[in-house]
Amino acid sequence: MQMQESSISAQRSRFLVSQLKRSQIYKDYEQAFRETTGMPLALRATEAFDLPHHDDPKQNPFCAIMANSNQSCAACLQLQKKVELEARLEPKTLKCFAGLCDSAVPVRVGDNLIAFLQTGQVLLHNPTKTDFATATKQILKWGTQVDLKRLEEAYFNSRVLNKKQHDSIIRLVTVFAQHLSTVSNQLLVQESTIESPQVAKARLFITEHQSEDLSLAQVAKAVNVSAFYFCKTFKKSTGMTFTDYLARVRVEKVKNLLLNPHKRISEAAYESGFQSLSQFNRVFRRVAGEPPTTYREKLHSA
């Protein structure tokens, strides 16, 4: 059976992000990250138009003061837009006018970019009077009204990391972004919606027969509706085509099988219902965002 390419709509991406933010795993990681690093952390949907660390308990005091100025706030939003544009494929770190670093790590579901994990507002070197003078020059150029003495105190209290520390933190965020990608795919498969009895029955039938050479017509027949009606109803209820849903169910089964370090990738593929290795490799990469060999290496490298 040929698997069709599909994409996740912007609306569904925002839904996934809202679900991830409410998940216990995200809340636990967010709290542990802040307490361990002393840095802010935000999960933002793509094309969000707010400052990522506004009201974050670990927000840099210097950035908090700057956020109250329209000019500097606009500059921060421009930086956020730039870092997101450059971080669509891999983590990216950029510096603001004051030398503070902000980083964005993409969260993907297959080929679909759904969000960014962002952290930063840190310096990668000890602040100097020259650094602050340069930042002050820009602030005055904007005509920003601010208490410079208070701003200077906040600037020199900024979190400072060396390159090795910063790289390690970004690596931690990247690993968590990969975990969120897996959780997102599971949410797409398991998403609970108000659905017709036929769709609920179809989900169960697919789960029970996923290892077979399953077709849309077979599933429609099993739930006693026409293929046309089933196709339309299933897509409306799940937000996915039958082929995309089946692909995600099978990929999740492969991932579970690969938890066994002795299970060969080809065995896992055939046991999950894929009819050829070329089909499996193509579908796994689309759904998981990486080749199955790479996934297996990461899974057992810890």
Kindly report the pTM of this predicted structure. Answer: 0.67
The neighbouring-strand residues paired with 42 are 118
What percent of the chain is modeled with pLDDT above 70?
Answer: 92
**Tens digit of pLDDT for each residue in 172-217?**
999 999 889 888 877 777 664 556 788 888 988 998 899 898 999 9
**Tens digit of pLDDT for each residue in 155-175?**
999 999 999 999 999 999 999
Report, as an integer, the average pLDDT of 225-250. 89
CB burial of 70-97 (b: ≥16 within 10 Å; e: otherwise) equals: eebeebbeebbeebbeebeeebbbbebb
Of the two residues 192 and 300, the one the predictor is more confident about is 300
Domain coordinates in residue numbering, the chain: 10-187, 192-299
The contacts of residue 138 (CB under 8 Å, 6+ apart) are 97, 98
pLDDT for 71 equals 67
User: Residue 40 and residue 46: Cα distance in Å, rounded?
Assistant: 18
Q: Locate 91 and state its tokens.
A: 């983590």
pLDDT for 194 equals 53
CA-to-CA dists, residue 289 to 89, 102, 283, angstroms: 11, 25, 9
pLDDT for 250 equals 93
How many of the other CB atoms lie within 10 Å of CB of 27? 11
Q: Locate 231 and state its tokens.
A: 């196709």
CATH annotation of 10-187 = 3.30.450
In this model, does residue 259 exceed pLDDT 90? no
pLDDT for 164 equals 96
- How many CA atoms lie within 13 Å of 132's alpha carbon, on the beta-carbon side? 16
pLDDT for 288 equals 84
pLDDT for 74 equals 75
User: Residue 206 and residue 215: Cα distance in Å, rounded?
Assistant: 10
In this model, does residue 5 exceed pLDDT 70? no
Mean pLDDT over each residue of the chain, to the nearest integer: 87
* The dihedral formed by the CA atoms of 281, 286, 289 and 290, expressed in degrees to the nearest 10: 10
Of the CATH numbers 1.10.569.10, 3.40.1410.10, 1.10.10.60, 3.40.50.300, which one belongs to the domain with range 192-299? 1.10.10.60
pLDDT for 150 equals 94
pLDDT for 191 equals 60
Angle formed at CA 106 by CA 102 and CA 112, multiple of 5 degrees: 150
How many of the other CB atoms lie within 10 Å of CB of 209? 15
Q: Locate 44 and state its tokens.
A: 């933002």
User: Residue 61 and residue 151: Cα distance in Å, rounded?
Assistant: 8
pLDDT for 203 equals 87
